[in-house]
Amino acid sequence: MNAEKFDHQAIEKKWAERWIAEKTFEPDIEHAEKPYYNLMMFPYPSAEGLHVGNVFAFVGSDLHARFMRAQGYDVFEPMGFDAFGIHSENFAISINTHPGRLIPDNIRNFTHQLKRTGNMYDWSHAVETTDPAYYKWTQWIFIQLFKAGLAYQKEAPVTWCPSCNTVLAAEQAEDGACERCGTLVEQRNMRQWFFKITAYAQQLLDNLAGIDWSEKTKSAQRRWIGRSEGAEVDFPLAAYAEKLRVFTTRPDTLWGATYMVLAPEHALVEAITTPDRQQAVQDYILEAGRKTAIEREDATREKTGVFTGAYAINPVNEKQIPIWVSDYVLMTYGTGAIMAVPAHDTRDFEFATEFDLPIVRVISAGDDDTEMIEAYSGEGIMVNSGPFNGTSSTESKVKVIDWLEEKGIGERQINFRLRDWCISRQRYWGPPIPMIHCKACGVVPVPEDQLPVVLPYIEDFKPDGSGKSPLARDESFLHTTCPECGGPAMRETDVNDNFLDSAWYFFRYPSADRDDMVFDPDLTEKWLPVDMYIGGNEHAVLHLMYTRFITMALHDMGLISFSEPFKIFKAHGLLIKDGSKMSKSKGNVINPDEYLDNYGADTFRTYLMFLGPYQEGGDFRDAGITGVRRFYDRMWRYTRQTTFSDEPATNLGLLALLHGKTKEVTNDLAALQYNTAIARLMELLNGLQNQETHHREAIRQLLQLAGPFAPFITQELWVQSGGEGMICDAPWPIYDESLIVFETVEYVIQINGKVRDRMELPTDTAQPDVEAAAFARERVQQWTNNKNIIKKIFIPNRLLNIVVKG
Ligand code: ANZ
Ligand code: ZN
């Protein structure tokens, strides 16, 4: 090794081997005294390999881990692969290979790439969701949810992707398109497996107050959970004994309900429709069935509907009101029926205008004489509202509900937008749902000692759009015996949504080597909840909601003591390339390998973190990387070629510099403000190089502060400058606030633009004090005495130019 040159390849190889040999990054899982669980969202191992967006996210998380380790924590930083799922499967189909062959190759490649980034992963606890030893427990969790009444089958309108040939969860369609392949989704009625996440709606909402997550993520979750307070009210039918129940958030507008609307799928539609209206109603239902939930919820769409011929009675004023069917009412929310209040609800107003239905104002905004040209949805004074006339709608909302309850017409009701999680997929590449269908016994879970239900190898694994998984075509998989009666039975052939694999993986890492249990209870209590979770905000309502649900369910089963999985969640920013988010679908992905080859991991890590604030992201350009490399070359030369004094530093300027930069870097690292920390490190190196006496303790302190960013070079120079052991285990430098005030900068003093003097002053001295100090100097006085001061030009921490005349 040429000691005078920073040979990153040799140094990386040397230390990577040492760290593996010494198990440097494998905390003592059982006995660690100060456990700190640093988790990052594990990658899906795509064929293209790691892209720099992944590296950006992972390095930022690793910096936090290294920082916490330097604070004395036993940091656990595991890594794994989210390798099941439609994404992998679709890619396998596109290149005409089998996912069972593709994925292991991808994982190998990812592992190799990840090892080069210098992140301190504990590879002894890695997990792969496609490993039967892992998905055995995914299936086990399914069974526990089933036993707890949280997994059930039902026929329901579900989101269907006609390209992926499978159902999706509601969260997995964005703006009407499949989250996986971008195809417009359809609505289908199918029998599916669901997880009862709605049982936790209130807790999912309430707990948000107690966790340290970015506000953006929390509000996305709040919106998705969508809690609404209101009432359910019964409307008697004019011609039948049955009643029509509606959900409303505005019981104060009840007197203005002039018609009712049922969702096309509502169970009463057929029964109440009069014979002369049957044909029209049936035609309309067919038409509505072709629309997706997204289209139906689109408020800008023109309203359509049909009259059923039937009437209901508004229970508060006994008026007969017509019942219509329209697709703007959804079967999946509330009761699937509404009372329409056109005067105060925009959609109802449009509908009433379209079909010439009466509009009765019941909330006054003080302009009752003017004709309504749009709905008034605000609060006001109740009018035309019987006993409530003259009262404020805001206050009466609660009173109206009390009154309804007293009269037995209605009751308080809270509704959530959140839907149960549709978990079954008619695909191949996932863990089979561990259930058995028996004609005699019904649905029976696979006995736990028979897990895993191994995903059989099926050469033709492609989905066929029949609504059944490819597993249904494998006769030997399909047919089994019932664990309860021993009779012939059929296996469930759908596989689990890949989001279930990732909904619990962080429970597995500490216990990754336990074959006999899902997770070791003691290890789990020791390491979980996760101390810091970092990942993309695109998972705000998917993965992050599912993980919270699974954690709550495991808690309520008595398996764990906590009910929130992640104490802190921070979303990293995204890397932009040529103006758009770097992503495989945009084709602007950059492979990190050539950068790692040419510049080395230290430079590449630092460069990525220098691109912008970690939590906001940045624009990936190659331009700056050589500058970062020069910084490390300079660090190398300075450390190697300088004669250092072993005396403690006493120079106040040097101490101020050292302590000041230590403070700044420490605070920046704690706040994940990595880009500014790098700037401070560069200033520190400059400052040290400018000293007259070079102290060993000062350079070693710089190496430590730079250590999280550049683990290889700092480790090598640490040893070369006399350090013992691993630099990442040396306690983090402590700064003394009282020394920082002495940090100085050099001011240039110009008279009429010519440099006449220089002086040292504390950093950030205010302009009047700088001027006072300047005018106190002999040389300045020489040039300014008996002259008129015209103006003073001041550049903080750099320069004072005095313009004089005469
Ligand atoms: C009467 C009313 C009057 C309403 C008014 C609103 C304003 P959120 O806030 O989202 O919970 N609604 C109820 N069930 C529905 C369904 N299945 N499909 C479509 N709309 C439905 O919305 C609750 C309101 O949305 C309810 O309150 C109901 O209209 C409507 F001035 O009832 B409201
Ligand atoms: Zn049976």
pLDDT in tens, 376-421: 999 999 999 999 999 999 999 999 999 999 999 999 999 999 999 9
Question: Do the Cβ atoms of 247 and 413 come closer than 8 Å?
Answer: yes
Which ligand neighbours the alpha carbon of 330 most closely?
1
Average pLDDT of the chain, as a whole number: 92
**What is the identity of the amino acid at 471?**
L
Q: What angle do CA 513, 518, 519 make, to 5 degrees?
A: 70
Q: How far is the CA of 142 from the centre of ligand 2 (A)?
A: 20
Higher local confidence (pLDDT), 87 or 237: 237
Question: Do the Cβ atoms of 422 and 198 come closer than 8 Å?
Answer: no
Reference 498, options 426, 423, 579, 556; nearest CA is 423
Q: How far is the CA of 704 from the centre of ligand 1 (A)?
A: 60
342 lines ligand 1 (CB under 6 A): no
260 lines ligand 1 (CB under 6 A): no
Report the DSSP pairing between strands 80-81 and 127-128: parallel
528 lines ligand 1 (CB under 6 A): no
From the number of C-beta atoms within 10 Å of its C-beta (0-12, 13-18, 19+), residue 353 rates as middle
332 lines ligand 1 (CB under 6 A): no
pLDDT value, residue 100:
94
pLDDT in tens, 238-281: 988 889 999 999 999 999 999 999 999 999 999 999 999 999 99
248 lines ligand 1 (CB under 6 A): yes
Helices and strands (H and E) in the chain: how many: 27, 35
Question: Do the Cβ atoms of 747 and 798 come closer than 8 Å?
Answer: yes
The predicted model scores a pTM of 0.85
pLDDT value, residue 301:
85
Q: How far is the CA of 329 from the centre of ligand 1 (A)?
A: 9
* Rg value, the chain, Cα: 34
Contacts of 398 (CB under 8 A, 6+ apart): none
Question: Residue 400, CB half-sphere, CA atoms under 13 Å: how many?
Answer: 27
Largest Cα–Cα separation, the chain = 113
Distance, in Å, from the CA atom of 698 to the CA atom of 686, rounded to the nearest integer, reads 12
Would you say how long the chain is, in residues? 806
Question: Do the Cβ atoms of 712 and 8 come closer than 8 Å?
Answer: yes
pLDDT value, residue 465:
76
By most ligand atoms within 8 Å of CB, the mutation choice from 232, 245, 250, 348 for ligand 1 is 250
Could you tell me the pLDDT band of residue 585, with boundaries at 50, 70 and 90?
A: low
Q: Sign of dihedral through CA atoms 8, 9, 11, 12? A: positive
- Given the structure tokens 């609504």, which residue do they identify? 467
Nearest CA to ligand 1 atom 7: 345
Which ligand neighbours the alpha carbon of 262 most closely?
1
pLDDT in tens, 127-167: 999 999 999 999 999 999 999 999 999 987 778 888 888 87
In angstroms, what CA-CA distances link 364 with 256, 288, 547? 12, 35, 46
Higher local confidence (pLDDT), 309 or 763: 309
Q: How far is the CA of 340 from the centre of ligand 1 (A)?
A: 8
Q: Which residues are in the CB-under-5-Å shell of ion ligand 2? A: 438, 440-441, 482, 484-485
Q: Tell me phi and psi for residue 591, to 5 degrees.
A: -85, 130
User: Is pLDDT above 60 for 428?
Assistant: yes
Q: How far is the CA of 221 from the centre of ligand 2 (A)?
A: 41
Distance, in Å, from the CA atom of 562 to the CA atom of 401, rounded to the nearest integer, reads 37
